[in-house]
Every structure is written in structure tokens, then in C-alpha cells.
């Protein structure tokens, strides 16, 4: 029996066998057009991440504002956060679908006290109605995913400080980083049960960790324990949790294997990273692989795209759980043909039982 796109994804996530390998794409990566309609008719499933299941507020001591600025003729956005310990600010330069961070939030040691105010003042509350309505409106063409948030150390390192500043602070004021991390960790413990009791059946937590930057020791000490906390909370309510690991993963593959994560999302096989899909299946036999189709292959011929898709499917045969996803941007001149080629290969080689 032919499954709906959503049912196909849910079937794999719950350890059962679908009619064919699911093909998914983030909601922001599939522009409306003839090719989009064709792909949806062929069964591509949209992964909708736009509807959170909780809200955060800072109602007591924090106030923020944003201003548009023109610098050297280029539009920028300045955000200012007012705290009892003083002001924090960021400067971003919009660039199409993303923004370049010109100035990070953290600039000097005095900013630790200001950041601590933003963390301590934060309140979190359930926000389910919009998620429920959107899921109902969209029907069987999409799977809706909740998000738990970033790992605190990742947020400090990447979002607030930047790698170079973090390296200096880690060497000179690690105790201050630990204080921030521990307070943020306590806030996360309020989020887990809200997400676990939400209408979402699965949620991503953190991700985008880079082994060369985060390092194995910090990953083991600061990241994996929180994966396990989230997994414990989600599993109590029959929910699944995964993380977005799209970079090199060999340095901590064993730590991921021993974690409570249910699925590895956006895993990008070689040639784009240091692990093939076969190696990932061997390293993580108990995890569901929800991969990102290797971005570099989109630049190859349609025939190469189809062949790579067949190889990925073959690596999962006969019964390893696999979802093929698109989690990165594809060049405008290639996405239509490349996605159609993936879809064709799934129709010919991705029908269960796998060849």
C-alpha cells in the first residue's frame, strides 16, 4: 500500500518498514513552482520547523531593541539588550537567506554579568496551539519537528563569542564560562518536559558541532550529557530526539553511539565528511540515519546524482533505517534537476524490500 509522505517518515522513525525510502526537505529549501509540485506528487516530505512548542520571555529585567543602520552603503541591523549590569549589542549584515555577524554579543569580560542577567531572567512556557493548527492544516505532505534549542556551550562559543574570543576566554576565564553554562543548563531542564509533553513526536536538540572546534573532551563533558537528559525526558512520553551532525564525526562517533539520541539528522556522508554512510551504520547501529544528501554531488551530473542515491540506498539495504534529506542550500541552477534525479533513483531503487 502506498504511504503518504508523512506516514513514510513516521514509519522509519518508529522502527518499521515503509513502502520506500523517505525523501525529505526543509520547508525553506523548496520554492513553489512546477518542479516543487512534481516532487511533492512523487512523495517528497517537507520538514516544517517553523512552529515552536514553547516560548521564552524575559519579563522582569531585560529589554531589547533593534535599529537599522547603513554602514558604507550597506544595510545592517543593530540589536541592543539592556540589562541591570549594562548593555549588550550585536551588529548583523543581512545576506539573503542568512546574516553575517559583524559584531558578537560578547566583547569584554564585563559582559559575563550582563549575559548572566539575560539567562537568569528567562522564563519558558508551553506554546502548542500554533503547532497543532499548522500540522492539521498541512495534512500528510509534511512532518512537523520541534526544537529544544542549542547546546549551551555551543551558544556561548559560536553565537555569543566566536571561536577566537572563546579560545581566549576558555584559557583565561573558564570559570565564568562554566557559570554561564550551568545556569543555561538549568533553563534547559525546564524546556525538556514542555517539548516532551507537546504534540510534536520528535525534536532536534543542538547540533552543528565541529570536531576541530568543539573537541572530543568538551563534546563528552558538555554536550553528550545534555543529549541524554533530553532523551530521558522525551522517552518518558514516547517521543524521539535527534541532533544535527553534518560535519566530521569520527572523533566522537563512539560517544554518539553511547548517547540516548534516537536519530542522527543531517549526517552528510563522504565525500563531504570523514565518514561514509556504511561507516556510520557500523558506528551507530542503534540510531536512525536521517542524512543530508552530500552537497557536493548536487554539482555533478544528473546521472551521478542518481548513482550516488543508489549507493546510499544500497548501503542501507536490506533493513537499516534510512531517510534521505535535504538540509542545505542547493545552487539555483541545479536544485530542480538534482532533486528530480534523487526522486527518480528512490522510485527505482528505494522501494522495499530493498535490492
pLDDT in tens, 196-205: 999 999 999 9
CATH architecture of 5-56+122-349: Alpha-Beta Barrel (3.20)
pLDDT score recorded for residue 100? 87
Let me know: does 150 contact 213? Beta carbons within 8 Å: no
pTM: 0.95
**Span 185-197, average pLDDT:** 98
pLDDT score recorded for residue 97? 67
**Span 223-240, average pLDDT:** 98
**Span 295-313, average pLDDT:** 97
- Our measurement of the distance from residue 171's CA atom to the centroid of its chain's CA atoms, rounded to an integer in Å, reads 29
Identify whether 64 is preceded by a cis peptide bond (ω within 30 of 0): no
Please write the tens of the pLDDT for every residue from 46-76. 999 999 999 999 888 999 999 999 999 999 9
**Span 224-231, average pLDDT:** 98
Q: Is the pLDDT of residue 112 over 80?
A: yes
Q: Is the pLDDT of residue 220 over 70?
A: yes
Give dist(CA 348, CA 44) in Å, integer: 15
**Span 126-132, average pLDDT:** 98
pLDDT score recorded for residue 95? 82
Please write the tens of the pLDDT for every residue from 322-344. 999 999 999 999 999 999 999 99
212 Cβ neighbours under 8 A, 6+ residues apart: 248
Identify the H or E element spanning 136.
helix 129-138
How many Cβ atoms are within 10 Å of 109's Cβ, its own excluded? 11
Q: Is the pLDDT of residue 355 over 80?
A: no
Band (pLDDT 50/70/90 cuts) for residue 319 is confident
Domain extents in the chain: 5-56+122-349, 59-107
pLDDT score recorded for residue 110? 98
Please write the tens of the pLDDT for every residue from 80-99. 999 999 999 999 998 876 78
pLDDT score recorded for residue 289? 98
pLDDT score recorded for residue 201? 98
Please write the tens of the pLDDT for every residue from 33-48. 999 999 999 999 999 9
Q: Is the pLDDT of residue 349 over 70?
A: yes
- Our measurement of the distance from residue 351's CA atom to the centroid of its chain's CA atoms, rounded to an integer in Å, reads 27
First to last CA, the chain: 19
pLDDT score recorded for residue 81? 96
Let me know: does 293 contact 270? Beta carbons within 8 Å: no
Amino acid at each position: 500500500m502506498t504511504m503518504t509522505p508523512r506516514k513514510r517518515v513516521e514509519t522509519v522513525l518508529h522502527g518499521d518498514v515503509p513502502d520506500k525510502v523517505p525523501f525529505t526537505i526543509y520547508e525553506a529549501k523548496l520554492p513553489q513552482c512546477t518542479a516543487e509540485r512534481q516532487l511533492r506528487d512523487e512523495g517528497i516530505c517537507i520538514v516544517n520547523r517553523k512552529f515552536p512548542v514553547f516560548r521564552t520571555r524575559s519579563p522582569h529585567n531585560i529589554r531589547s531593541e533593534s535599529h537599522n543602520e547603513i554602514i558604507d552603503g550597506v544595510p545592517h541591523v543593530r540589536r541592543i539588550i539592556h540589562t541591570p549590569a549594562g548593555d549588550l549589542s550585536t551588529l548583523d549584515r543581512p545576506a539573503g537567506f542568512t546574516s553575517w555577524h559583524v559584531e558578537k554579543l560578547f566583547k569584554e569580560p564585563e559582559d559575563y554579568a550582563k549575559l548572566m542577567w539575560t539567562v537568569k531572567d528567562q522564563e519558558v512556557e508551553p506554546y502548542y496551539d500554533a503547532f497543532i493548527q499548522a500540522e492539521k492544516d498541512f495534512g500528510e505532505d509534511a512532518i512537523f519537528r520541534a526544537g529544544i534549542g542549542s547546546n549551551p556551550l555551543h551558544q556561548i562559543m559560536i553565537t555569543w563569542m566566536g571561536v577566537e574570543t572563546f579560545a581566549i576566554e576558555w584559557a583565561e576565564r573558564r570559570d565564568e564560562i562554566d557559570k554561564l553554562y550551568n545556569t543555561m543548563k538549568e533553563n534547559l531542564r525546564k524546556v525538556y518536559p514542555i517539548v516532551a509533553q507537546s504534540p510534536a513526536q520528535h525534536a532536534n536538540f543542538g547540533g552543528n558541532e565541529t570536531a576541530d572546534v568543539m573537541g572530543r573532551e568538551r563534546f563528552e563533558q558538555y554536550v553528550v550529557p545534555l543529549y541524554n537528559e533530553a532523551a530521558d525526558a522525551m522517552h518518558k512520553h514516547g517521543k524521539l530526539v535527534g541532533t544535527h551532525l553534518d560535519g566530521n564525526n569520527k572523533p566522537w562517533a563512539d560517544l554518539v553511539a553511547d548517547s540516548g539520541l534516537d536519530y542522527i539528522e543531517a549526517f552528510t556522508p563522504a565525500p563531504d565528511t570523514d565518514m561514509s554512510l556504511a561507516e556510520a551504520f557500523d558506528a551507530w547501529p542503534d540510531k536512525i540515519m536521517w542524512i543530508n544528501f552530500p552537497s557536493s554531488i548536487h554539482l555533478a551530473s544528473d546521472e551521478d546524482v542518481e548513482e550516488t542515491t543508489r549507493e546510499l540506498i544500497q548501503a542501507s539495504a536490506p533493513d537499516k533505517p534510512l531517510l534521505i534529506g535535504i538540509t542545505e542550500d542547493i545552487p539555483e541552477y541545479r536544485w530542480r534537476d538534482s532533486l528530480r534525479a534523487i526522486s527518480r533513483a528512490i522510485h527505482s531503487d528505494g522501494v522495499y524490500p530493498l535490492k
